[in-house]
Chains A and B, each alone.
Chain A
Amino acid sequence: MSVPAQKPVTQQAVNTRPVQLWVAQILAILRIELKKNLMKKRNIWIYLLAFGPVVVIALHVLLGSSDPGGLSEDTNILADIFQLFYLRLAIFFGCMILFTWLYRGEVVEKSLHYYFLAPVRREILIIGKFLAGAITATFIFGLAFFCCFGLMYAHYGRAGMAFVFSGPGLGQLFAYLGVTALACLGYGSVFLALSLIIKNPILPGAAVLLWETFHAVLPSLLQKFSVMFYLKQLCPVSLLPDDGLSLFIVITEPVSPWLAVPGLLCLCAAILIFACFRIRRTEISYLAD
């Protein structure tokens, strides 16, 4: 081991403007975390959840007719798949797996102290990790729904093309992708914050699921503390309450998208601010194991 003269790096090469430094640090966190999120073996469940419907739709397309009359029916099927499967189950559980592990994973693998020992504000760490999770989840679920959408309309040929490019199709696609991103932000912040308080996310996760599912029966003030409250108002195609699921899709107090989007983002920001307070007080305790 050789001993070259020590010259502190502290003055050299480190960006001095705080905002610049924070951006550089968030990018560095994203580089580390995105790779982990996309490659992690335990995240195979997220891929399965996301791409399951793609397989189902592929079968539906192969076996079903391509009669243009079925197009509007398929639009409703797609709306069902999005709201009942993606929003309520896949994105919910996907975010639960992904976001709780952002923090818990570091504790279980005993690597959190490397982050805590870097000259990075812990708030920046939370924001970086949250963004990494949000980008990963939005990418996976967005891509999966994009595939569903593409498959569903592609097999109608010209009629499908016309629906997408000259009709309401493209607008609906963007709306779906937007809602997907918002869902990932909303659920992501909830689960990230939960993982900072509680070790095992299963029980609180179940509580959140109940809350999100039955929020419609709550008083209107409490409804606003639910992610689903905002999301369902933003979906481009509303579900027909013709099945036993009417409880889940009843809209008690409609809110315009101009309120729903900022409302959700505020909820999300409030949860993240809580998480930041929490992480500042966090101690490394696994070192004593």
Chain B
Amino acid sequence: MISPNNQIVFENVSKFYGEILGVNRVNLSLPPGVTSLVGPNGSGKTTLMNLMTGLVQPTQGKVSVLGLTPDQPEELFRYIGYCAQFDSFPKGVTGYEFINSFLRLRGLSSQDANRLTWEAIERVGMTEAARRKVAGYSKGMRQRMRLAQALAHHPTVLVLDEPLNGLDPMARSESIALFEALGKQGMHVIVSSHVLHEVDKISDQVVLMSFGYVVAEGQISGVRSEVKEHPMQILVRCSRPSMLASRLFAQDHVVEAKLHTDGAGLLVRTHDADSFYKLLSQIVQDKEDDFKLEAVAPADDDVNSVYQYLIGSGGGTV
């Protein structure tokens, strides 16, 4: 049994920004390993991360990280490294100064800070550019430097808000490998992303968010099958709906296909949006069918379509 002090715990946490909902009634208990927070824009990922790191305070409820709360900054922030979503730096610093000055702030001696600074810079492959001003870095370089800053003091909880943004494919796969390795070492690595497939392979658990609510949570396989159990409605507007319907009935993931009342569309209910989208694109490419597709969209705005949006690689459009 893992002791509760090893976890990041949200107890009935709500955060309102005035009238605006940030997150609502979140109950979570995150063990070590890689955790992905996944959700569309404005779903509350950053809010959850800011709550974890004390940058915002809950309107209601309690947050604790490894048994510590943000009221104990001298303790808590030794264990936390947070690479925020915001791409900003103190003015006029070089990459080296940026990391070094905040290490000194931790009370480290100048030698220790120097050693840890170079270690972090090497780790993200920024040694050459370290003495240059941050203002002259590319987006990806700034992202890496901020990652280095979050890592430099060897935190046990690493919180990364959209860390893959702006990285080239090479740096992307290197970062993913780094997160996975850190998670395997027993660290908490919390990563946020808009789409699950970006991070699903390395995630030990996922938290799906929508409109400020946690809509699903747990190990990736569990969340996937939970989603599969809920069929999803998709509205297809096209030139030959009845032809499409006949093709669809041959598929066992399709539960229902209904002609739209105006005759120019088909309402489809399916367990597997991915396969459905694949089939649809095959039909479209197949010239013989003389099939014209006008629009495809999730027909209901409920949690299911959000699941599908998050889980499916098509993202709701073909």
Which residue on chain B has the smallest CB distance to residue A105?
B91
Q: Min CB distance, A288 to chain B, in Å?
A: 7
Which residue on chain A has the smallest CB distance to residue B101?
A32
Whether A63 is near chain B, meaning CB under 8 Å from some CB there, is: no
Whether A29 is near chain B, meaning CB under 8 Å from some CB there, is: yes
Among candidates B84, B105, B124, B155, residue contacting A287 with C-beta atoms closer than 8 Å: B84
Interface residues of A, dominant DSSP: loop
Interface string of B103-128 (1 = CB under 8 A from A): 01111110010001001001111000
Q: Min CB distance, B298 to chain A, in Å?
A: 27
Interface string of B147-178 (1 = CB under 8 A from A): 00100011110000000000000000011011
Q: Are A24 and B107 in contact (CB under 8 A)?
A: yes
**Residues in A259-285 with C-beta less than 8 Å from chain B:** 281, 283-285
Whether B131 is near chain A, meaning CB under 8 Å from some CB there, is: no
Number of A-B contacts (CB under 8 A): 137
**Residues in A68-120 with C-beta less than 8 Å from chain B:** 109-111, 113-120
Q: Are B178 and A1 in contact (CB under 8 A)?
A: yes
Q: Are B101 and A31 in contact (CB under 8 A)?
A: yes
Whether A174 is near chain B, meaning CB under 8 Å from some CB there, is: no
Q: Min CB distance, B141 to chain A, in Å?
A: 13
Give the size of the chain B interface in residues (CB under 8 angstroms): 53
Among candidates A2, A4, A20, A21, residue contacting B74 with C-beta atoms closer than 8 Å: A21
Q: Are A109 and B91 in contact (CB under 8 A)?
A: yes
Q: Min CB distance, A60 to chain B, in Å?
A: 38
> Which of A120, A122, A288 has the most chain B CB within a 10 Å cutoff?
A288
> Which of A2, A111, A117, A285 has the most chain B CB within a 10 Å cutoff?
A117
> Which of B46, B73, B123, B177 has the most chain A CB within a 10 Å cutoff?
B73
Residues of A within 8 A of B112 (CB): 9, 12-13
Whether B10 is near chain A, meaning CB under 8 Å from some CB there, is: no
Whether A25 is near chain B, meaning CB under 8 Å from some CB there, is: yes
Q: Are B76 and A119 in contact (CB under 8 A)?
A: yes
Q: Are A110 and B88 in contact (CB under 8 A)?
A: yes
Could you tell me which A residues sit within 8 Å of B by CB distance?
1-10, 12-15, 18, 20-21, 24-25, 28-29, 31-32, 36, 39-40, 109-111, 113-122, 281, 283-289
Q: A117-B53, A284-B55 are in contact. List 19 more A-B contacts (CB 8 A).
A: A1-B125, A3-B123, A4-B119, A25-B105, A28-B104, A28-B107, A31-B101, A32-B90, A36-B92, A110-B86, A110-B88, A113-B84, A117-B82, A118-B73, A119-B76, A283-B50, A283-B55, A283-B57, A289-B86
